[in-house]
Amino acid sequence: MLKHKTAYTLAICILFICSMLFVSRHGENSRIFASGKNVHTIGVPEKAYYIWKESNVSGRTLILFDSYPHNMGLISYNGIPQLTKTNLIEYSIIKNIIRKIYLIVPEMEWNDFRRQKFIRPIREASDLAKGLYLYNQSGIPLIAVTPSTLPRIPEESLVYINKRLFKSDEALGLLEQNKISSDIVVIFEGVK
């Protein structure tokens, strides 16, 4: 009997230690920031991944001024995941560049956004007047907010702006107003 209790206790301790190692890998210690502040204009979405990768960033919060789900949503892979024009966000999550996302929804579109059939809410963001945790297969926090409810984010964030949907000067003004700093801003203009 004592052997079984010892084995169970040992198994629980090992599981706890493994959990702590996993959490610390994805915690504050694994965040890598870019040197300096950079603004990039791109013609194809997947270029953002290469900018982030070349800047060697990791474990970051992304402020996403784009539609949901970003560029067609998630893809089921057969084999090794590959970056495509439709999976920038998912691929960046797989590669540990992104660990949390704030999706910005225009104020006037909030009620329509919430009624969309493709929205898969998990729960309300109780600390925000207009905030909603959304389901995503990657398991990282994905929080939809309006510009007026975007919280202050204490760390430098990555920013992705789809210029077809948001005016870049207004998006950058919102960040400045909320005292949110960013080391890398990517502005998607589309193919010229």
**Domain with 124 in it:** 36-188
For residue 44, is it within any domain? yes
Q: Which tens digit of pLDDT belongs to each residue from 18-29?
A: 555 554 454 556
For residue 96, is it within any domain? yes
As a 3-state breakdown, the chain gives helix, strand, coil percent values, each rounded to 5, of 35, 25, 40
Q: Which tens digit of pLDDT belongs to each residue from 8-53?
A: 676 676 765 655 555 445 455 678 878 888 999 999 999 999 999 9
Domain count of the chain? 1
Write down the pTM of the prediction.
0.80
For residue 14, is it within any domain? no
Residue 68 or 20, more confident: 68
pLDDT, mean of residues 123-134: 82
Candidates 102, 110, 157, 101; CA nearest to 129 is 110
For residue 52, is it within any domain? yes
State yes or no: pLDDT of 173 exceeds 90: yes
User: What's 79's DSSP letter?
Assistant: S
For residue 10, is it within any domain? no
CB atoms within 10 A of CB 103: 21
For residue 18, is it within any domain? no
For residue 160, what pLDDT is reported? 97
Are 61 and 32 in contact by the 8 Å Cβ rule? The answer is: no
For residue 19, is it within any domain? no
For residue 91, is it within any domain? yes
What share of the chain has pLDDT > 90, as a percent? 47
